[in-house]
Amino acid sequence: MRKLLLSTAALCLVAQLATAQIRLPQPSPGASVMQTVGTTDITVKYSRPSLKGREPFTSALVPYGKVWRTGANAATNFNTTTDLMVNGQKLAAGTYALLSIPEQNQWTIIFNKNVATTEADYKQTEDALRVTVTPGTSSVKTESFTIDFSDVTDSTAKMNIMWGNARASVPMGVDVNANAAANVDKAVAEKPEDAAVLQAAASYNLSKGRNLDQALAWTDKSIGLKETYRNVWVKAQILAKMGKFAEAVPLAQKAMTLGEASGDAAFPFFKDAIAKGVTEYSSKMPAVPTAVKGMKAKKKS
């Protein structure tokens, strides 16, 4: 009778804690990892079960060949802020449930449109993308299930799924130039009267050799709003890139004059580049024909 009373009391305590929504330790605590690739943010939110002396991919824990929520507790969520190439296949920007089918020689990685789905109610018809990867092994045993990113560049990364000695790496890539160009166009559309935004947008186009006529128009507007040595120097560089050295030289010289009078602490970082620009652009200006020189001398006499 006493045991029954104790059990009843314990059940009541659990019910009270649940009703009060008291935050308590979880056996598979939540985790989140975010990785920026170029201008794309990739975020994974998941729970981390631990082995506690068990082997990960067994019938008693996570069986091979079955759909798995790729974590524990609630669904694992995967978000990408731009379109993404996953192992060579396109995944549209958005949030997905990240599931997988682990096998000894192959893992199927699943991105499902139902962000709350787990293996209990998973429907393949709701898949946005499936890819397969070949798993590897690690000499270091991962006790707590882990998802992280490695081999990060400005356009690629690997998402690693690790538990025990198993490691599945999923190659990911972004079109960083297209994303950056879209961000530039969006910024100008949102702030068309901001001199600094227009200058930054023109600088980006200049750096990529992209739509120089548009870049020139942006610098002209930027200068019209607020002339600085920076936007004048950007315009000089654009004109030089277009082969218009005779127009670029006086602008580069003007940028030097404006910079020296600006009191801007950052100007010394620009000064050498501007000076080199003046010299380089001057050397590339077309030579004045001898006959023209003679005519000018005759007029003076």
The predicted pLDDT at position 2 comes to 43
The predicted pLDDT at position 1 comes to 42
The predicted pLDDT at position 3 comes to 43
What is the arithmetic mean of pLDDT over 209-237?
96
Residue 194 has pLDDT above 80, yes or no: yes
- pLDDT per position as a tens digit, 245-270: 999 999 999 999 999 999 999 999 99
The predicted pLDDT at position 5 comes to 42
Residue 54 has pLDDT above 70, yes or no: yes
Least confident segment among 144-153, 229-238, 280-289: 280-289
Residue 203 has pLDDT above 80, yes or no: yes
Split at pLDDT 50, 70, 90, the class of 59 is confident
Residue 50 has pLDDT above 50, yes or no: yes
Of residues 278 and 3, more confidence is placed in 278
DSSP state string for 126-182: GEEEEEEE--EEEEEEEEEEEEEEES--SSEEEEEEEEEEEEEEEEEE--HHHHHHH
Threshold 0.85, pTM exceeds: no
DSSP state string for 218-261: HHHHHHHH---HHHHHHHHHHHHHTT-HHHHHHHHHHHHHHHHH
- pLDDT per position as a tens digit, 113-164: 999 999 999 999 999 999 999 999 988 999 999 999 999 999 999 999 999 9
